[in-house]
């Protein structure tokens, strides 16, 4: 959520930057400013009414004390009127504030100046590419075939137990999953991130805090009996650690990492791109989250990108980094880099990580602040990224490391798996 004073002071810039997202925000921004003015003037009226009412109440108290009961009772009539007035004003204030909030919820984050124009993934800018695309043997297969051939992932069993998109990992497949999680967590903690184990269900306030609610409600599994939501990413519980928090400047930067399963309804997805591990309702992911001083957040973003790069290089997977264009950058993000691994057998790029700087957009909703050098509370910047998402990494490994006789395990993982090949 953008800050109203920021919108007020930078109206033209906000509109211009939002136009990169292909949004004509002029009307929306005007409405916000008008509503905010109305909110403030209603608040002022209400405050004055309450002030008068407060002072009369005090007077009544004093009159009662000195035994002037009749005078006191006379004043009560006056406060009755004020009470009515303040009630109406409160209602007005609430509706105005709600409408304002609704508008603000509709406005995405302002893209960073380096974000390229564009509407779709074709306009994303490749900023880095590395790794060798292996030349596979004749008859190389996509991972869903390999999974069946080596009996390491059972999609049909998942269908039986739960439904589509809930695969069952077996034997070496399960062990490889566990190895990847442990390896990622080790890399992240070695880079200074503190490991967390987080709840997999969150309440409504947390969903609102990171922006899944109220808009993207349909994307989360909802446990209605207890009004809890299954997390779509560790970002939700991880970032909500800091909801309604005032940190000390010296606490920054904060870096945390955690492994969680992620649950996504993926309503509306279909087709070839959802085959195998490409798109699932439940998958595993190791996330990194940072809370940064506003002057340091882009430095932090770079270091996160370098960190993920390091992991992909150790895994020796061919990958590229994209700077997402404005149209492809998620609602809350100011700047996002996507990492994609090349799947040789599928002959396509698979997104394995998305690293974003949200600047104050999330912090504003979360009320995540720190006490700055002047002793004032200031919104912090939040960032997060996958480090990394398991299924497509697994797909990438299976497909790129396949040989005619099996699947080699990347060397860095062998101490975790306890075997060299499948």
Partner RNA sequence: GGAGAAAUGGCAGAGUGGUCGAAUGCGGCAGUCUUGAAAACUGUUGAGGGUCACACCUCCGGGGGUUCGAAUCCCUCUUUCUCCGCCA
- Chain residues that interact with RNA, rule: CB under 7 A: 40, 43-44, 46-48, 50-51, 53-58, 60-61, 64-65, 76, 79-80, 83, 246, 369, 371, 377
Shortest distance (Å) from residue 109 CB to RNA: 19
Q: In this structure, what token pair is assigned to residue 373?
A: 């050098």
C-beta closer to RNA: residue 342 or 370: 370
Report, in Å, the least distance between residue 14 CB and RNA.
18
Alpha helices by DSSP H, listed for 107-203, are 143-149, 155-161, 171-190
Shortest distance (Å) from residue 413 CB to RNA: 30
Closest separation between CB of residue 5 and RNA, Å? 7
Q: Nearest approach, Cβ of 309 to RNA (angstroms)? A: 37
Least Å from the CB of residue 231 to RNA:
17
CB of 203 closer than 8 Å to CB of 223: no
Q: What is the C-alpha radius of gyration for the chain, rounded to an integer number of angstroms?
A: 27
Pairing of β 282-292 and β 377-379: unpaired
The per-residue b/e assignment along 191-226, b for 16 or more CB within 10 angstroms, e otherwise, is bebeebebebebeeebbbbbbbbeeeeeebebeeee
- Cβ atoms of residues 172 and 422 within 8 Å: yes
Residue 419 CA to residue 292 CA, distance in Å, equals 40
Contacts of residue 72, defined as CB under 8 A and 6 or more positions apart, other chains included, come to 60, 63, 64
Residue 32 or residue 393: which is nearer to RNA going by CB? 32
- State which residue, 11 or 371, has the beta carbon closest to RNA: 371
Closer to RNA by Cβ: residue 59 or 408: 59
Residue 44 beta carbon to RNA: minimum distance, rounded to whole angstroms: 6
Minimum CB–partner distance for residue 211 and RNA (Å): 19
Helix (H, G, I), strand (E, B) or coil at 213: coil
In terms of CB distance, is 55 or 194 closer to RNA? 55
Q: What gap in Å lies between CA 394 and CA 47, rounded to an integer?
A: 60
Compare residues 54 and 269 and give the one whose CB is closer to RNA: 54
In DSSP notation, 226-239 reads TTEEE-SSTHHHHH
Alpha-carbon torsion angle 138, 320, 385, 117, nearest 10: -130
CB nearer to RNA: pick between 80 and 310? 80
Tell me the angle at which helices 69-106 and 26-65 cross, rounded to the nearest 10 degrees. 160
Nearer to RNA, 182 or 246 (CB): 246
In the bound state with RNA, the residue whose beta carbon lies nearer, of 13 and 74, is 74
d(CA 281, CA 317): 25
Q: How far is the CB of 57 from RNA (least distance, A)?
A: 4
For RNA, which is the closer residue by CB, 80 or 192?
80
Neighbours of 383 (CB within 10 A): 27
316: tokens are 């020796």
**Number of neighbouring beta carbons within 10 Å of residue 92:** 16
Minimum gap (Å) between residue 204 Cβ and RNA: 11
């Amino acid at each position: 959520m953008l800050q109203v004073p920021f919108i007020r002071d930078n109206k033209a810039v906000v509109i211009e930057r939002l136009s990169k997202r292909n949004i004509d925000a002029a009307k929306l921004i005007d409405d916000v400013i008008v509503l905010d003015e109305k909110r403030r003037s209603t608040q002022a009226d209400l405050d004055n009414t309450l002030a008068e009412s407060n002072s009369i109440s005090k007077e009544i108290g004093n009159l009662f004390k000195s035994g002037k009961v009749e005078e006191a009772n006379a004043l009560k009539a006056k406060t009755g009127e004020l009470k009515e007035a303040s009630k109406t004003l409160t209602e007005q204030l609430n509706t105005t504030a709600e409408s304002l909030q609704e508008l603000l919820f509709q406005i995405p984050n302002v893209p960073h100046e380096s974000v390229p124009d564009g509407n779709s993934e074709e306009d994303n800018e490749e900023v880095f590419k590395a790794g060798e695309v292996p030349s596979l043997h004749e008859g190389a297969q996509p991972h869903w075939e390999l999974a069946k051939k080596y009996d390491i992932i059972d999609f049909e069993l998942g269908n039986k137990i739960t439904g589509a998109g809930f695969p069952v990992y077996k034997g070496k497949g399960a062990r490889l999953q566990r190895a990847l999680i442990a390896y990622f967590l080790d890399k992240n903690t070695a880079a200074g991130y503190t490991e967390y184990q987080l709840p997999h269900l969150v309440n409504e306030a947390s969903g609102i805090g990171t922006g899944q609610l109220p808009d993207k409600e349909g994307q989360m599994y909802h446990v209605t009996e207890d009004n809890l939501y299954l997390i779509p990413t560790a970002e939700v519980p991880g970032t909500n650690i800091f909801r309604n928090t005032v940190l000390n400047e010296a606490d920054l930067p904060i870096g945390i990492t955690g492994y969680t399963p992620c649950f996504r309804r993926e309503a509306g997805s279909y087709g070839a791109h959802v085959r195998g591990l490409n798109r699932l309702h439940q998958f595993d992911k190791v996330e990194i989250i940072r809370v940064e001083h506003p002057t340091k957040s882009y430095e932090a973003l770079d270091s996160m990108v370098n960190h993920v790069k390091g992991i992909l290089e150790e895994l020796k997977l061919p990958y590229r980094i994209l700077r997402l264009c404005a149209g492809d950058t998620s609602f809350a993000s100011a700047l996002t880099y996507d990492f994609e691994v090349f799947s040789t057998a599928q002959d396509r790029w698979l997104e394995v990580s998305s690293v974003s700087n949200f600047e104050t957009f999330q912090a504003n909703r979360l009320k995540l602040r720190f006490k700055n050098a002047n002793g004032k509370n200031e919104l912090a910047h939040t960032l997060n990224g996958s480090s990394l998402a398991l299924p497509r990494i697994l797909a990438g490994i299976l497909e790129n490391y396949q040989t005619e006789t099996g699947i080699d395990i990347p060397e860095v993982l062998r101490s975790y798996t306890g075997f060299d090949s499948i």
